[in-house]
Amino acid sequence: MGIEKKFEVYIDKLCKRIKNKDVHASIRLEINDHLHTLKEDAMGRGLSEEEAIDKALNHMGDAEVLGKQLNKTHKAPMDVKTIIPVLAASLFGLLVMYYLQFHSAITELHEMNVFNKSLVFYLIGLLLMLSLFTFDYRRLLKYSIHFYVGTILILLLTVLIGVRVDGVPFLNVGVASINFTEITPFLLVISLAGIFHSWNWKENQKFWLGIGILSIPIMLLATTGAFAATFISIIVCTVIMHVSRANLKQAITFSTVATIWPIVHLFVQTQTYTLTSPYADLKLGDADFIGKTLHVTPSFISEVHTDFIFAYTIYSFGWLAATIAFGLVGYFICRIFSTAKCVNHVYGKLLIIGLAATFTAQFILSILTNLGLSVLPGVAMPLMSFGGSHILLEMIAVGLILSIYRRRKTVDQSLAYN
């Protein structure tokens, strides 16, 4: 064995005791640096190289003992404060679906088996979420462009050949029709966080290129009737732009220009038809604070199990239940923003803030629509509303957040333009 090989053997033995492999590289670098410093110090005091290496190893101590200590220090914790509200909100959503399927007179929802399907989607989503906890989110960084191009191409196909349902194009993939516009904001976060994590908005050429990258999906979405997805995407793009070091004036100018056409489109559309409320003949004051107000189930209104689940909760379970549901999702969103503050990696910080912005925009628009304060249709309540693609995607997003939290102390490479 070569003299220097002793250091490698020592470090390998030490790392075997550290279960969190994400920190192996930094620990190897740090321990190797300590060993060489000790060796040079010993050689400076007149020892031979071999004697100095043995002296350095003795000074560091037993590799297994040190490895156990470092394993305790670098454990990869599960973010319980994020998991609990997610599971509680999901269980609440399942409870509402159970009530709709088995204890309401809405026969259409009985036939749709909203509870059975939701249970399957939540279980699959839970598995995906836990799998992503162990996945290193930084591996997604090099595929950011691929995600972006793929999102644009599928969005283009959806716009061109999608089947329109209530004005929103759905992509038919043979076995199912997918509301891809609903998925788009999440995919934009994953792709744009990688593209802009080291972007220099101060360079004129980079600025206009960045504006072009952000504008293409917005323009495609604006041609559809998916107003909620369009406005959520504008918010996500603006947040990512600003967090990636575009100044506030640039971000506000972009969002102002980007919202002009969707607002005009929305205004024109609302002149041609009247948006219906699931409980147009009832008032919020009719709901009790605790318990069920309605003694008869309201007639079936399409989307009551998706876009209007919050209003249904108020009228059927009372204001207290709705407030608890509101609090669970609200706390989850606050927790994400809180986590973002302690993330060192720039890509991770951008990714988690983008996801937080998506959940926040979706949550607020859903509440406003349910309370009759917004004319935007088609906004599902995060983690609660019925739906396959959005439940799976939200669980995947939570899994990514857990993965980022687990690696929040990892240090990023320096920004390219610093």
Percent with pLDDT over 90 in the chain:
44
Q: What are phi and psi of 374, to 5 degrees?
A: -140, 145
Residue 280, pLDDT > 60, answer no
Q: Which of 344, 346, 296 is nearest to 316 (CA)?
A: 296
Residue 293 — pLDDT band, cuts 50, 70, 90? low
Give per-residue pLDDT as tens, 187-209. 999 999 999 999 999 999 999 99
Residues 384-394, mean pLDDT to the nearest whole number: 87
How distant is the alpha carbon of residue 193 from its chain centre? Answer: 11
pLDDT of 412 reads 60
Radius of gyration of the chain (CA): 26
Q: Is 383 left (phi over 0), alpha (psi -120 to 50) or beta?
A: left
How many CA atoms within 13 Å lie on the side-chain side of 76? 18
- Whether 388 contacts 117, CB under 8 Å: yes
pLDDT of 415 reads 41
Residue 416, pLDDT > 50, answer no
Residue 236 — pLDDT band, cuts 50, 70, 90? very high
- Residue burial 146-179, b: 16+ Cβ < 10 Å; e: rest: ebbeebbebbeebbeebeeeeebbbbeeeeeebb
Residue entry with tokens 């509440």: 367
Residue 346, pLDDT > 70, answer yes
pLDDT of 225 reads 79
pLDDT of 301 reads 56
N- to C-terminal Cα separation, the chain = 43
Residues 85-108, mean pLDDT to the nearest whole number: 85
Give per-residue pLDDT as tens, 41-88. 999 888 888 889 988 999 999 988 998 888 888 777 788 999 999 999
pLDDT of 75 reads 77
The secondary structure of 272-299 as a DSSP string is: HS-PPPTTTT--GGGS-SSS---SSPPP
Give per-residue pLDDT as tens, 295-336. 445 554 556 777 788 888 888 888 898 899 889 999 999 999
- Whether 230 contacts 218, CB under 8 Å: yes
177-178, strands of its sheet edge to edge: 163-165, 168-172, 177-178
The secondary structure of 126-143 as a DSSP string is: HHHHHHHHHS-GGGGGGG
Kindly give, in sequence order, each residue whose CB lies less than 8 Å from that of residue 173, ignoring residues fewer than 6 positions away.
Answer: none
- Whether 86 contacts 325, CB under 8 Å: no
Residue entry with tokens 């009985």: 110
Q: Which amino acid is at 322?
A: A
- Whether 339 contacts 352, CB under 8 Å: yes
Residue 288, pLDDT > 60, answer yes
pLDDT of 107 reads 65
pLDDT of 86 reads 94
CA distances from 43 to 37, 39, 55, 61, 71 (A): 10, 6, 10, 19, 31
Percent with pLDDT over 70 in the chain:
88
Q: What are phi and psi of 164, to 5 degrees?
A: -80, 130
Alpha helices in 196-281 (DSSP H): 204-222, 227-243, 248-272
The secondary structure of 341-367 as a DSSP string is: HT--SHHHHHHHHHHHHHHHHHHHHHH
